[in-house]
Amino acid sequence: MRDFQLPGRSPVFATNGMCATSHPLAAKVAVQMLEAGGNAVDAALAGAVLLGVCEPQMTGIGGDLFALVSKPGEEPIALNGSGRAAAGTSAQALRDEFGTMPEHGPHSVTIPAAVDAICRLSEDHGRLGLGDILAPALHYAEAGVPVAPRVAFDWARVHHLGEAARRQLMPNGAPPEPGSLYRAPGMAEVLRRIAVDGRDAFYEGEVAEDMVGALQALGGPQTLEDFAAARSEYTTPISAAHEGHDLVEHPPNGQGAAALLMLNILQRLDIAGLDPFGAERAHLEAEAAKLAYDARNRFLADADHMTRLDHLLSSETADRLAALIRPDAVLPAGLEPAGAVHKDTVLITVVDRDRTSVSLIYSIFHSFGSGIATDKFGLLLHNRGAGFTLEDGHANEAGPGKRPMHTILPALLRKEGETVMPFGVMGGQYQAAGHARFVTNLLDFGLSPQEAIDAPRVFPTGGQLQVERGYPETVRKALADLGHDVITPDVPVGGAQAIAIRPDGMLEGASDPRKDGCALGY
């Protein structure tokens, strides 16, 4: 039990259904869907689409979506709603013009696949129709949502918006203050059309023309044919065993394999006997992350082009990498993650009365994505193409019809063939490391879900070790003495949401205080 004299959060308990996500209004809407007879899929979709209004810097219908759906007695279902590069994409032309993959602008935009994924999940696994699912987001896009504190914090840090995006997002010429009202009437109109005509209302006709026109005006290669061809697809989840449980992840092009590799490395380092908040555990975790991410960057790509998944998941690979880690020294420089990575994503997890679980992650990548908004409807387009590399011959090299390496990944924790916890950790590149840390917090150190989320975080990036202020100065000094270049990050390291399905049937929700959201149940 937590110390009630110290700031913190209590877990949320409920018997019927629950949602945990990064904005309270989305959690409320998801629970309302459950109360109205919808299932976990309906609730997760309704809450996720609303998050595009509540947290427009993080997500929206101009982005991508990954989901894991777990029904009692069945194997989990994975849906990959990540978009492909335009047919006219040329790595050589991009090398000639930019040298490295652009992080913003029209060449960073792959065809957004979230809307197709939303429609497909609703039709295949939901109980309610699209109209019911989209109605809350439609309403709030028109009526407006008060800007939450963390959203305002992120909003004020953005400097790459194009003209149409500035009109939509900064109508008064400045970022909104907390508590001011944000409206997106153009998005409301698009949602209204999708509710009536399904995915075709987004990928064909006037809405698609608006997106293609905005991109082509800036020199982008995208065409109406590219948008019409966009499709999500079902895939087979991957997993790794740890302490009597199985961590279930999305396969490539998501970075789930990196999370599993890092967990497998940590298994070999006997961390359970260490202080969970001490320097030694933080050091070993940072070194494991460097190695897992280096392997990710060498091999991870679109599943249609990747040939080394078995290598990433093998015991021999984990053995060899773990043997490189020294408790008294840092790994040499040069193991730095490649490709553009960032921290702007939302995660929603839901469990319903029947104990169907959903972990769904939904993103426009960098804060406000590519910085491009369309002229007519004001739709923000993501910049997932920034996840490609321009290295000649690399499996993740940009190319026509390819999906880039994706940082976003939902997760499930399973035991004896049943899901016991849908969860996810936001934070762009951090997500794979965050999954491994969350699972070891739970299973190696015995923390509760909320304690596991609240715990301070470290993450190696750019040759430095980000150490959150939750660590004491003694730990920071010990890490520096080992050779780490210790810094305090400007923003929190990631964010997480989780719902435990306890053996007694009770639901226990946990939500990250680094975000504005909460867990709610009924």
Domains and CATH numbers, the chain: 22-234+345-387 (no CATH), 236-341+409-521 (3.60.20.40)
Tell me the C-alpha distance between 92 and 23, whole Å. Answer: 42
* Residue where the block lists tokens 């660590």: 471
Q: Supply the pLDDT for residue 429.
A: 82
Residue 349 clears pLDDT 60, i.e. is over it? yes
The CA-based angle 413-416-421, given to 5 degrees, is: 25
Across the chain, what does the average pLDDT equal? Answer: 94
Q: What is the mean pLDDT of residues 442-459?
A: 97
pLDDT in tens, 200-245: 999 999 999 999 999 999 999 999 999 999 999 999 999 999 999 9
Whether the CB-CB separation of 213 and 374 falls below 8 Å is answered with yes
Give the Cβ contact number of residue 156 at 10 Å.
13
Phi and psi based region of residue 250 (left: phi greater than 0; alpha: psi -120 to 50; beta: remaining):
beta
* Residue where the block lists tokens 């260490």: 274
Give the global pTM: 0.94
Residue 339 clears pLDDT 50, i.e. is over it? no
Q: Is the peptide bond before 396 cis (omega within 30 degrees of 0)?
A: no
Is 345 catalytic? The answer is yes
Tell me the C-alpha distance between 105 and 98, whole Å. Answer: 12
Query: On the CB side of 517, how many CA atoms lie within 13 Å of its CA?
Result: 33
Q: What is the secondary structure of 231-300 as a DSSP string?
A: --EEE--EEEEETTEEEEE--TTBSHHHHHHHHHHHHTTTGGGS-TTSHHHHHHHHHHHHHHHHHHHHH-
Give the Cβ contact number of residue 4 at 10 Å.
8
- Choosing from 21, 110, 317, 345, the catalytic residue is 345
Q: Supply the pLDDT for residue 27.
A: 97
pLDDT in tens, 135-144: 999 999 999 9
